[in-house]
Chain A
Amino acid sequence: MRSARRWATRQAGLLETVFDLVDPILRALHPIWRGIGYKRLERPAAAIEALFKKPLFDCQMCGRCQIGASGMTCPMNCPKSMRNGPCGGVRPDGNCEIEPAMPCVWVEAWQGSQRMRGSERISALQPAADHSLTGTSSWLRHIREGREAAERNA
């Protein structure tokens, strides 16, 4: 798993491109999703999302994905669940304070972010995780909220 995680961070630029291509398509299909019903889609969407993201990112299904702002590295793998950058305990070799054999999630996030066109996104403030969303599909939420916001502004 960890080697897949490292691959994802190294290919952060490629994954960003894939996301940028797929995202507008999924958004455009909003009428279909609405027709089926977002509530009914929740479980299958979460299952499909987990199928992709668990092997690739060791995704923890926090329900509010922010890997685009953390170099395609899942911050929920940080033993302190830090969503805004590294703690002060990072070891001189760049490994985790709590798990000395594991590279710091945020050291890798920083490296990944520097391979992305949106490298400045790592500076955006991320709110605290909402634990009531754990296990739900962040993709579905992203599409729905994005469309709803666009409709409100229209």
Chain B
Amino acid sequence: MSDPGASYPILPGHTSGGRLERVLRSGRFAVTAELNPPDSADPEDTYERALVLSRVCDAINATDASGANCHMSSVGICALLTRAGYSSVMQISCRDRNRIAIQGDVLGAAAMGVSNILCLTGDGVEAGDQPGAKAVFDLDAISLLETIRGMRDDSRFLSGRTITSPPRVLLGAAANPFAPPFDFRPLRLAKKVAAGAQFVQTQYCYDVARLKDYMVAVRDLGLVERCYVLVGVGPLASARAARWIGANVPGVHIPESTIARLEGAADQKDEGKRICVELIQEIREIPGIAGVHVMAYRQEHLVSDIILESGVLEKRLPGHTEDNQAEELS
């Protein structure tokens, strides 16, 4: 392929030509990871971060001003990633753009070779570095999913106007099993699946018992047959960092027992990494889990060690030679 951003041929029954959909549909345990976008206009800053993740990831998430903090945009990151041939998940938050801007970005992203889009409502502007900004929230995550599904499956904008060549993307959403109202969370996932979510990436999981309860309900609703669940994980740098995240990052809950374990360790950073490896191994055993999504804030360099130590890739090496990819994805 002359265009490195060009996707694979779309297999029968698939909605995208992306690597992630092929891995998920093949039943292999998928690994995605979040790239922390730089506060810089230098493409090398993005490539440096992508390179360390790509060795062990089936797709790299490009965040869209997560936590309402301003960084290089997800469209910009995806333009760079696709140009270099990386598989990406473009995150779209409803906080900063209205339906007109978002639908335009979806077409642009698909044209660049983005095969996966994650639909998010987004954190409030109050959480970020520019709390005086006007929050948009024209759509919510679910109406965003329906909008893009309509663009893809019916070749129509939300207005009904025709799209001549639809965006061939795999649609994802976020899920947070760790925030109240807990009884509603599985039904909320069902709504997202009904709206078009084919995979979900969850908020950071540090409470496996809570996740297991959630997955019982999710399996009972028949959702794991219709939607791939990737569980969010990440290494905690220290007990102090864990407390800060718990208090300041919306929707993240870190149990006291985890913080106590970090505090009691001689090397807290190493312990954080070990906790993450153990979590991945435990999560993998839960029926219906399709993969993990690693969010290592400012610790991308640890991701490949964590994934390799966890053993979830078995013999797969996502970022390596074309031959290896062809074999595993056939």
Contacts and interface: CB of A to CB of B under 8 A. Distances in A.
Q: Majority SS of interface residues in chain A?
A: loop
Contact of A125 (B135, B138, B195): B195
Contacts of A123: 187, 190-191
Contact of B187 (A82, A122, A127): A122
B3 interface: no
B250 A83 contact: no
Contact of B253 (A92, A122, A126): A92
Contact of B143 (A79, A90, A126): A126
A85 B191 CA distance: 9
A97 B127 contact: yes
B174 A80 contact: no
Contacts of A94: 180-181
Interface residues of B, number: 38
Contact of A86 (B94, B122, B139, B179): B179
Contacts of A55: none
Q: Majority SS of interface residues in chain B?
A: loop
B313 interface: no
25 contacts: A80-B122, A82-B137, A83-B143, A84-B142, A84-B191, A85-B184, A85-B188, A86-B184, A88-B175, A88-B251, A89-B123, A89-B176, A89-B179, A89-B250, A90-B176, A98-B124, A98-B126, A107-B180, A111-B181, A123-B190, A123-B191, A125-B142, A127-B143, A127-B146, A128-B147
A92 B180 contact: yes
Given A80-B135, A97-B250, A128-B139, 8 more contacts: A80-B95, A81-B140, A82-B137, A83-B140, A84-B195, A92-B179, A125-B146, A131-B138
A149 B216 CA distance: 40
A113 to B, nearest CB: 9
Contacts of B181: 86, 90, 94, 104, 106-107, 110-111
A87 interface: yes
B141 interface: yes
Interface string B176-207: 10011101100110110011000000010000
A9 B184 CA distance: 16
Contacts of B122: 80
Nearest to B187: A123
Contacts of A90: 176, 179-181, 251
Interface of B: 94-95, 99, 121-124, 126-127, 135, 137-143, 146-147, 158, 174-176, 179-181, 183-184, 187-188, 190-191, 194-195, 203, 250-251, 253
A126 B188 CA distance: 12
Nearest to A97: B250
B158 to A, nearest CB: 7
